[in-house]
Amino acid sequence: MKLSKEITNGFLIFLGISAYFLVMQALGLSDNHLLRFFNVFIVYYGVYRTIKANFNENKFGYIHNVVSAGFTAINGVVMSFIGLILYIYANGGQSFLNSLSPGFLFSGNPTVTEYCFGLLFEGLASAIVIVFISMQYWRSKTALND
């Protein structure tokens, strides 16, 4: 069974974000939330691969490519969200979370659920922005009429 390019590239996004987070954790940089900005490049890479694959398959429709790229990005972000929840609970739950970037999204001490859903919504928002920025590059190459 062959997985779709959206799921495959979404999984690559998940692997990239996971590896990046683990490297930051190993280097003691996980408390620096500004370094998370580089996640954008990982998501962009997965979206780019999906759109490029669509073009190689002669799928030039703008709407088709937006939906395909969006599914790829959202798929990667949701898998990363699930992985984050599992990682936090595997490392001690709330006590581990308290060692991560304090006050990053919320003042005080957020629960694991609050922290993860905050990151989920941030990730989904950035994924949507990345898709539309990517489509600006590909727009001249797409057919606006599906």
Report pLDDT for 138.
Answer: 77
Q: What is the mean pLDDT of residues 60-71?
A: 90
Report the alpha-carbon distance of residue 137 to residue 145 in Å, rounded. Answer: 17
Looking at the chain, the whole-number percentage of residues with pLDDT higher than 90 is 45
Chain segment 15-62, per-residue pLDDT in tens: 999 999 899 888 888 777 777 788 899 999 999 999 999 989 988 888
Chain segment 71-125, per-residue pLDDT in tens: 999 999 999 999 999 998 998 888 887 776 555 555 667 888 888 888 899 899 9
Report pLDDT for 25.
Answer: 84
Phi-psi region of 145 (alpha: psi -120 to 50; beta: other; left: phi over 0): beta
Query: Is the confidence at residue 4, as pLDDT, over 60?
Result: yes
Residue with tokens 């928002």: 125
Exposure class string for 101-121: b at 16+ Cβ within 10 A, else e: eeeeeeeeebeeeebbeebbe
